[in-house]
Chain A
């Protein structure tokens, strides 16, 4: 009797709670509708044709919900340098000019009334004076009207802030001719006069005075991205940002935390409603937006870390777009009501790098001698070895296994889709016979005779890097039983530490573009001061000259010539070899319309989209 009572109580409890919850669920279900877009949305001219009609009722028709895995670092445009932050910022803020939909080298005026050109007289003095007439009638989310002073303040604030590891260098370089405002000891090396003179208001115009001639397309790419967002000066000051005063600018250089961390001082189509850290960012429509209100009352960017949960939410239609990792692509393939765009070339790539002079105390080079139990620190200074390793890499198999075929090969560091990319230039192919030939030549035959041992690291969780490392080991070791490579997985911080300290004889890493120009790739890969080349200790004065010329010439033909020459040198000297350029995918419910792909966008730009 007692047992029955207890079990009965438990069952009743379950039924009551479950029933209540079920009823609530029914009540909470959004109205089924296929409402047309609230405003006229631009047509998705470059989108692939849609395949199947929406198979189920449109859920949350007034909201766009995206499920992803990234957490924004900040909403301060002058601080943000990650894509998760960028995705929120470029929906809240606007820039002087912006990319013309899917084009990375064509621009439309936004806050500026016109895109400057030599023809319209807004580019002057041999390209060192750029004039932006400011559009009138634009309102900030605060209700204040945007003025040229706001534009001047916004761009100067980026120069003033220059936080460590931030994006300010992109504006500092063309405007002040330096990449940082501080020396290695942290002392300021620029003056207020330089900053003040770089950006000036002349009537209704904002005038940029460049420190040197600069490729105009590159400058426009920089000005079209989040770091160049125009902020409401008064709003920024109210949130503790630099008050715009010359005498205190030093106090606002390299701050501890971003002043506009959670502020919304923008004029974009969406306003910040709330940021629930670790969970979601909710944006709401700005009804006074100068181009007309967006089609969604809310744009929600959810952080759903667990793939199984994210997948179920996507399949159930509770989210409209979702991040699908490559290894799970097949689980979504052919799912009803989901549209996929494939083979989207990204502006990123990755390579296997050789360190020319490893730290002699590195724990990853065994004995530190060429005795079969280690390698000397300058092991990879021999070009024969670098070529041998390049020929040992099975590129096609790697792309198939690690990327499920969704990656491309490129001859050099310049990705497909950027000017200067030339698929006809030579690149290494998998050829173990040639690899053996070069191994035998290396170090006057000592490598082949004595063998070697070193450790090849990858950061745990990065399956693509692990696969590449294991493939190198498998192929190289198959050539000579004296060749030994130990593949070790370490956490990202340890990986980074070893790389920065030049402890890794060989490392695998990638690059994501700041702006879609070849300079942004050849500099880190090939210039002696570039991020990767500096870690490697690679230096070629002629290469440095070419890279520097690339960023000072606006002659497009000359720039392409330089890119070709650099790619050829990259092939001949093999400081590293490119193993892939990822081809992205985009997944969305079929009831979402208007999406287009621009590889430099940090995420979903919601304004042109609608559901129905």
Chain B
């Protein structure tokens, strides 16, 4: 137990050099762009009048200073809790995180478990019924899901379920529900509308939020669970042919118990790895899903900021992604130890 605690502390401390490394890397990449290119963010396409004063803008923001001076200034501000100003959203970077993070988390908490559960279920069915029709159907489903461009499937879903049927509109809430959540009576506990709706005991907003979540989550499930399913299938097939499984069968252990109690547990290890990456990816945003379904979160912002060379935002996002991935890797490692007691952390 002590070893585990030390391991966790050590891994958490690893965040600091990781973030320093990430920030230096991103900062160095940003320096590939000339001061004029970076100042273009303050001018914008069409802002030619401002372009005439671009040298003043460069001077004002210190864009022509040596790289180490610019990095030092940025780091000093970050350590003082100032992540800078996001020019792509026109608000402080820290505030952009707090405003956009709930949308990404809300998609993640619904989509990720559904993807993992359906992926595991389909993978298990496929492996258990190898080369029979459930396997074929699952594999076709996986191949189709894997091959579908997210953008295309999103548009098709939107065209059918919103354009043709009018059931599931884009956005996070309808105008009526928005009026409620922005009223004085509404208490925002988490920023996640489904959870806040339950805490505020407002079923209309809950159902409305769920209605708006349906298509983005469905799109992610269709596209996302193919990977989990394939990994689960191959991993389970591999386990089912191992000696300990044979031995269990010869001992007369029922097939269901052989699969569920013995093989599944070991087969889960690569799935956990993949699920960890998946969840981390979801938490750091989903560019296409958030854009097409007007469910704007961190992914939308990060892509938007990158295309506009909004470096304070890009840097902060890189730091945030670094933290999410380090923590998710740590959780995956802890889950490993739980799934396979032979794995010792520390």
Asked if A and B bind, the verdict is: yes
Contacts A497-B40, A512-B46 known; A277 to B90 CB distance under 8 Å? yes
Alpha-carbon distance between A25 and B289 when the two chains are bound, in angstroms: 21
Q: Are A500 and B51 in contact (CB under 8 A)?
A: yes
Q: Are B208 and A28 in contact (CB under 8 A)?
A: yes
Q: How many A-B residue pairs have CB under 8 A?
A: 178
Return A611 CB to nearest CB of chain B, in Å: 14
Q: Are A3 and B294 in contact (CB under 8 A)?
A: no
Alpha-carbon distance between A577 and B48 when the two chains are bound, in angstroms: 18
User: Contacts of B52 on A, CB cut-off 8 Å?
Assistant: 165, 531, 534
Alpha-carbon distance between A390 and B170 when the two chains are bound, in angstroms: 47
Query: Which of A17, A166, A313, A524 has a CB less than 8 Å from the CB of B210?
Result: A17
Q: Are B134 and A496 in contact (CB under 8 A)?
A: no
Contacts A28-B204, A165-B49 known; A309 to B296 CB distance under 8 Å? no
The B interface is mostly helix, strand or loop, or mixed, namely helix
Alpha-carbon distance between A30 and B178 when the two chains are bound, in angstroms: 13
**Among the interface residues A316, A496, A511, which one has the most CB atoms of the partner chain B within 10 A?**
A496
Instruction: Indicate with 1 or 0, residue by residue over B27-71, a CB within 8 angstroms of chain A CB atoms.
Output: 000000110111011111111111111111101100000000000
Q: Are A27 and B56 in contact (CB under 8 A)?
A: no
Contacts A30-B176, A492-B45, A494-B37 known; A186 to B56 CB distance under 8 Å? yes
User: Contacts of A306 on B, CB cut-off 8 Å?
Assistant: 291-292, 294
Q: Are B167 and A22 in contact (CB under 8 A)?
A: yes
Query: Which of B41, B177, B300 has a CB less than 8 Å from the CB of A28?
Result: B177
Q: List 13 A-B contacts (CB under 8 A).
A: A17-B210, A21-B207, A24-B208, A24-B210, A28-B211, A81-B47, A82-B44, A166-B50, A274-B182, A278-B88, A300-B175, A309-B292, A313-B169
Contacts A24-B211, A82-B44, A501-B36 known; A279 to B296 CB distance under 8 Å? yes
User: Contacts of A531 on B, CB cut-off 8 Å?
Assistant: 48-49, 51-52
User: Contacts of B207 on A, CB cut-off 8 Å?
Assistant: 20-21, 23-24, 27
Q: A71 at interface (Cβ–Cβ under 8 A)? A: yes
Query: Which of A23, A28, A315 has a CB less than 8 Å from the CB of B174?
Result: A28
**Among the interface residues A81, A82, A277, which one has the most CB atoms of the partner chain B within 10 A?**
A277
User: Contacts of B294 on A, CB cut-off 8 Å?
Assistant: 279, 304, 306, 309
Q: A65 at interface (Cβ–Cβ under 8 A)? A: yes
Interface contacts beyond A81-B50, A165-B42: sample of 11 additional A-B pairs, CB < 8 Å, sorted by A: A3-B134, A17-B210, A300-B175, A308-B292, A309-B292, A316-B162, A493-B41, A496-B40, A500-B36, A531-B49, A534-B52
Alpha-carbon distance between A257 and B59 when the two chains are bound, in angstroms: 15
User: Contacts of B50 on A, CB cut-off 8 Å?
Assistant: 81, 164-166
User: Contacts of A17 on B, CB cut-off 8 Å?
Assistant: 210, 214
User: Contacts of A274 on B, CB cut-off 8 Å?
Assistant: 182
Q: B100 at interface (Cβ–Cβ under 8 A)? A: yes
Q: A189 at interface (Cβ–Cβ under 8 A)? A: no
Within 8 A of A (CB), among B55-103: 55-57, 59-60, 85, 88-91, 96, 99-100
Q: A73 at interface (Cβ–Cβ under 8 A)? A: yes
The A interface is mostly helix, strand or loop, or mixed, namely mixed
> Which residues of B pack against A, CB within 8 Å?
33-34, 36-38, 40-57, 59-60, 85, 88-91, 96, 99-100, 118, 121, 125, 129, 134, 155, 158-159, 162-163, 166-170, 174-178, 182, 204, 207-208, 210-211, 214, 256, 291-294, 296, 300-301, 304, 309
Return A253 CB to nearest CB of chain B, in Å: 12
| A-B interface, 5 closest residue pairs, ranked by CB to CB distance from nearest | A165-B50, A24-B207, A21-B211, A493-B40, A493-B37
User: Contacts of B129 on A, CB cut-off 8 Å?
Assistant: 3
Interface range on chain A (Cβ under 8 Å from partner): 35 or more
User: Contacts of B43 on A, CB cut-off 8 Å?
Assistant: 165, 496
> Which residues of A pack against B, CB within 8 Å?
2-3, 6, 10, 17-18, 20-25, 27-28, 30, 60, 63, 65, 71-74, 81-82, 164-166, 182, 184, 186, 254, 256-257, 261, 273-274, 276-279, 282, 298, 300, 304-306, 308-309, 312-313, 315-316, 318, 459, 462, 492-494, 496-497, 499-501, 509-512, 514, 524, 531-532, 534
Q: Are A305 and B291 in contact (CB under 8 A)?
A: yes
Q: Are A500 and B54 in contact (CB under 8 A)?
A: yes
Q: Are A278 and B204 in contact (CB under 8 A)?
A: no
